[in-house]
Structure 1
Amino acid sequence: MPFGRRKDAAGTSRRWRLSAKLLIASSVATVIGFSAICACVMLDMRRGEEELARQTLENLASGIDTDISRNIELYDLSLRAVASNLVMPEIKDVSKELRHLILFDHAATAKHFGAIQVFDAKGKLTIDASSLDPVPEDRSDEEYFRVHREDPDIGLFISKPMLHRSAYAIVLSQRITGPDGSFLGVVAGSIRFSYFHDLFGRLSLNPGDIITVLRRDRTIIMRTPFDLDVIGKNLAERSNWNPANLQSNGSYSGVGPVDGIARLYVRRSSTSPLYTVVGKPLDGIFSLWRTEAIRIGAIMTALILFVLGTALFLAREIGRRAKAEDKLEELATTDALTGLKNRRKFDSEIDAEWRRAVRNDMPVALLMIDADHFKSYNDTYGHQAGDQVLVGIAICISDSVRRAGDCPARFGGEEFAVLLPGLSAIEAVGVAEAIRRKVECWSEDPTATTVSIGAASMTPAAGMHWSDLIEAADKALYAAKANGRNQTVLASVPKLSLVA
């Protein structure tokens, strides 16, 4: 198969291959685009779920913190009233019953609140709201007593969780200060754990949800789910937790300091000595989102596989169509017997090369080749033998013409043409002689199968047409046949000159 024809078919095939690649690339780009959009939507949904959970936890934490702060404030008012009334001189002269009525209000005896007690400067129990004749007690070694004795400005002090009067509670205390600023003792009361259990019990919590009440020094006062091993522990002593993670009225998403469960934590802090932290497991927050993400992801995966499968199928069909069109192009431009280009393709090639030569001011050469005595050979040996002769001549021509731009063609019957762009007359004659000698050597009977060749070379000028080149080469061919055949004749403009 001639190289020029192979190049043309390959060019068409490459164009189709580019089209198939473009289809696949556009399909992949579409898949990536839709996947990116889907991913953005899913991330927005995730952020929405987290924000909704954060708002819910903020409301919960605010409600709990408000309730605890209000009760501590009420209890603190009772403690301060007792501390201030005790330093009144008149209080010493009243009876125990009247003193109780003056010192203690009903708020201090509410449910979950322990009875208020008064201790002197040595830690001895002197007054008990629950009894006119209290049992002797000494609290001088308690933390809250030492704190008030050593720091006159401590104000309300809340102890660590402790066993107080046969119940787990936190002790709230105020310092009793004399008119001269001296330490006169401590007034103390308690809030039992039953208050927190009752408060948290009214809430609807999911498994894994936590509520933690802490002192300002990060001591855990209460926690639900209740764990006695955690109550009273100071988180400041834990090296695996950075307090900057959860600032006042802020939030944090990750693993907390108590257990290894990843949660969304929200902290609410008022002016109370205690603050509240609530947490919800991230698995619980994103469970619904995860279900939707899996469902949408499965749908997107199916669509992606469908689009890519369809694209690959269409690309394969485009490739098949390209091959079919290449074959049709080959059949439409190729002589079926010799494998050279046919007359139709030759006309389009010479027209294109002629126009290129006009633009570039370059010569165009043409060889017209005719099989000698072909009609008599065909009549003597038959059409099949004649066809074999034509095939042999075509092979000799193809072997002698190897440049990519050259165009060998079957011009008609036993006549062939070779278009040689860019060759001068002398170069064209050289190619013609190579073809003639090869045909002569190929034939077993030189007198039976030889060729006559007419060669012409022109540099196109304005007003000229490529038919002038064919006419000149054709005249040279007739001259070669008239001079005895098996020779090459070079055409000249305007007259012919014979060259052996």
Structure 2
Amino acid sequence: MPFRRGRDARRRWRLSAKLLIASSVATVLGFSAICASVMLDMRRGEEELARQTLENLASGVDADISRNIELYDLSLRAVVSNFVMPEIDHVPKELRHLILFDHAATAQHFGAIQVFDAGGNLTVDAASLDPQPENRADEDYFTVHRDHPDVGLFISKPTLYRGAYAIVLSRRITGDDGRFLGVVVGSIRFSYFHELFGRLNLAPGDTITVLRRDRTIIMRTPFDLDVIGKNLAERTDWNQENLKEGSAFAGKGPVDSTPRLYVRRAGSSPLFVVVGKPLASIFSLWRTEAIRIGAIMAALIIFVIGTALFLAREIGRRADAEDKLEEMATTDALTGLRNRRKFDAEIEIEWRRAARQGQPVALLMIDADHFKAYNDTYGHQAGDQVLVGIAICISDSVRRAADCAARFGGEEFAVLLPGANAVEAFNVAEAIRLKVLQWCEGEILTTVSAGIASMRPTAGQSWADLVEAADKALYAAKANGRNQSVLASVPKIALVA
């Protein structure tokens, strides 16, 4: 039968081991969560810093482009305003050039301003007093102004204009009566954008894209002629809502598959600027730190878990060792039953439990008949063999987990039966007596006598009263001729079998 106290000890040690492992896992998870939170904050910080840097870059590029477009547009406006004056047609060519282009902006990357009449024919060229015949009636900038009077400043797609790649800026010339009189045209060469982007300290993979309001790419660095002039609004695999005005977007862009952080500059200019930086570049330092900290955390996790498992195993071993020591301390070495010390502890516990629950508790006191004479006749080894046999018969008859069979002393045994009434206890005693009798039918001739007592604890009683009653019943069995079970009652013997 298992030891309840041993089981309790094992439960405590197992609980301690489980608690150690659980606390270790909880600690590891807690530190991992804190570490992950810190790393995510660092990542967001890196992304926010990159976003602010890109916003500043986009703002600077957009301001430079807007300023030059506005400056050049002022020149176009001046030409339109002067061209509709009635006197302009009656002055010499030299004076007309002076009037039309006196305030025209001149710069290395600005093309000469031209004026085309209502039929698309070149009439005035800031670069020549006698321009060569030229007709631009089929160009987009001409047809747009002819068909849509309210367009204002129109910026064309990138095109080859007057021998150089450029964007064409144009305005409509409208007469006092609202008639279409022609178009004033100028250009900004690509060399302006190349020079502007060349002054910037860009990292490999960084991009700057200048787009028209309809999302047509005007210029991009790194320069790719196949991309220039493409309209991103026609891309079905790109969601335009990803990059609204003044917003940022992280992921694959519409031009290439490199994941970047893109920032779009907010403004009212006819062109807008989008700058991008590879996410790998933004998070390279963070990734290095994350790998380093992750490696340290992994090593700590392995150490903590390994230590916890080792300690849990050692706790388990200690529990097993203590169970074995307790078993040795509470077990009779010869018979394998509980010893007197264990019996006293068990009867104390069961007596208190029975008192609390109002349940009966029974006790069998069993003694080997004529054991001293048998021992003197056949020797101590034969006597020991008899005691072992009796112990086996008792163990075979007492099977409940709460029952406690013990060697009470010498050739005397005790069986504690919690919750058993007198009849049940008497039946157990008879089962033991008959089993011993059956076992002794061979060469070994011995019998046992049993005294049985069952009590329901009341105030003023102790378990010693139960032992005394069973012991008196045992003496009665001996006095009546041995090899019998006697049931005791308080204060007199009630049954003999």
- Pick the TM interval, shorter chain: over 0.9
Q: Does 1:156 align with 2:153?
A: yes
For each residue in 1:409-432, what CA deviation from the matched residue of structure 2 results, as whole angstroms up to 9, or x when unmatched?
111111111112222223222211
Q: Deviations over 1:208-251 (max 9, x none)?
A: 11111111111111111111111111112211112111111111
Q: Out of 393, 402, 406, which is 2:403 matched to?
A: 406
Distance 1:139 1:482 in 2: 142
Aligned to 1:269: 266
Map 1:66-465 → 2, pairs under 5 A: 66-105=63-102, 107-444=104-441, 448-465=445-462
SS in 1 for 2:105: helix
**What is the deviation of 1:283?**
1.3
Moved more, 102-111 or 195-204: 102-111
CA distance, structure 2, for counterparts of residue 174 and residue 41 of structure 1: 56
Give the partner amino acid of 1:148.
Answer: H
| Aligned residue identity for 1:38 | C
Question: Counterpart amino acid of 1:56?
Answer: T
The 3-state SS of whatever aligns with 1:109 is coil
Give the whole-Å Cα distance in 2 for the aligned partners of 1:161 and 1:269: 22
For residues 161 and 333 of structure 2, the distance between their equivalents in structure 1, rounded to whole angstroms, comes to 113
**Which one of the candidate residues 4, 16, 28 is aligned to 1:19?**
16
Hey, what's the Cα distance between the residues in 2 that align with 1:264 and 1:497? Answer: 98
Superposition RMSD in Å: 1.7
% same residue: 79
Q: Counterpart of 1:404 in 2: which secondary structure? A: coil
Distance 1:118 1:497 in 2: 139
User: Match of 1:200, SS?
Assistant: helix
Is the deviation greater in 132-141 or in 257-266?
A: 132-141
SS in 1 for 2:460: coil
- Partner residue in 2 for 1:473: 470
State how far apart, in whole Å, the 2-side matches of 1:311 and 1:212 are: 57
Q: Who is 2:489 aligned against?
A: 492
Q: Is the 8 A contact 1:213 1:223 kept in 2?
A: yes
1:424–1:146 Cα change, 3 Å: closer
What does the per-residue CA deviation read over 1:372-397, in whole Å, with 9 as the maximum and x for residues that have no partner?
A: 12122222222222111111111111
Aligned residues of 2:354 and 2:361 also touching (Cα < 8 A) = yes
Alpha-carbon separation, structure 1, partners of 2:418 and 2:116: 122
| Higher mean displacement: 61-70 or 359-368 | 359-368
Q: For the residues of structure 1 that align with 2:424 and 2:240, how far apart are their CA atoms?
A: 92
CA distance, structure 2, for counterparts of residue 249 and residue 447 of structure 1: 106
Judge conservation of contact 2:212–2:272 (CA < 8 Å) in 1.
Answer: yes
CA shift, 1:446, in A, is: 8.1
Once the two structures are TM-superposed, the CA of residue 203 in structure 1 deviates from its matched residue by: 0.6
- CA drift of 1:146 comes to 1.4
Judge conservation of contact 1:78–1:105 (CA < 8 Å) in 2.
no
Name 1:60's counterpart in structure 2. Answer: 57
SS at 1:366 equivalent: strand
Secondary structure, counterpart of 2:225 in structure 1: coil
- Deviating more after overlay: 419-428 vs 31-40: 419-428
Q: Structure 2: which amino acid aligns with 1:299?
A: I
Alignment CA distance shift 1:236-1:92 (3 Å): same
TM-score (norm 1): 0.96
Q: CA deviation at 1:92?
A: 3.0
Compute the displacement of 1:341 (Å).
0.9
Contact 2:249–2:263, Cα closer than 8 Å, also in 1: yes
CA 339–71 in structure 1, closer or farther in 2 if over 3 Å, else same: same
Rounded Cα–Cα distance in structure 2 between residues aligned with 1:254 and 1:447: 94
Comparing 409-418 with 126-135, greater Cα deviation is found at: 126-135
Conservation of the 8 A alpha-carbon contact between 1:4 and 1:406: no
Structure 1 letter corresponding to 2:363: L
Following superposition, the deviation at residue 8 of structure 1 comes to 4.3
Q: Relative to structure 2, which stretch is displaced further, 96-105 or 413-422?
A: 96-105
- The separation in 2 between residues aligned to 1:320 and 1:492, in whole angstroms, is 48
Paired with 1:496 and 1:38, the residues of 2 have a C-alpha distance of 77
CA drift at 1:444? 4.5
Matched AA of 2:466: L
Q: Which runs of 5+ in 2 are unaligned?
A: none
Pairwise CA distance, 1:483: 2.2
How many residues align? The count is 497
Contact 2:338 2:405 in 1 (8 A): yes
- Which segment drifts farther, 389-398 or 367-376? 367-376
100-109 or 127-136, which deviates more? 100-109
TM-score, normalised with respect to structure 2: 0.96
Q: What residue ranges of structure 1 are gaps of 5+ in the alignment?
A: none
Question: In structure 2, what is the equivalent of residue 29 of structure 1?
Answer: 26
Residue 453 of structure 1 and its aligned partner are, at CA, apart by 1.4
- Give the CA deviation at 1:9: 2.9
- For 2:64 and 2:496, how far apart are their aligned partners in 1? 121
Tell me: CA distance 1:185–1:427, structure 2 relative to 1, closer, same or farther (3 Å).
closer
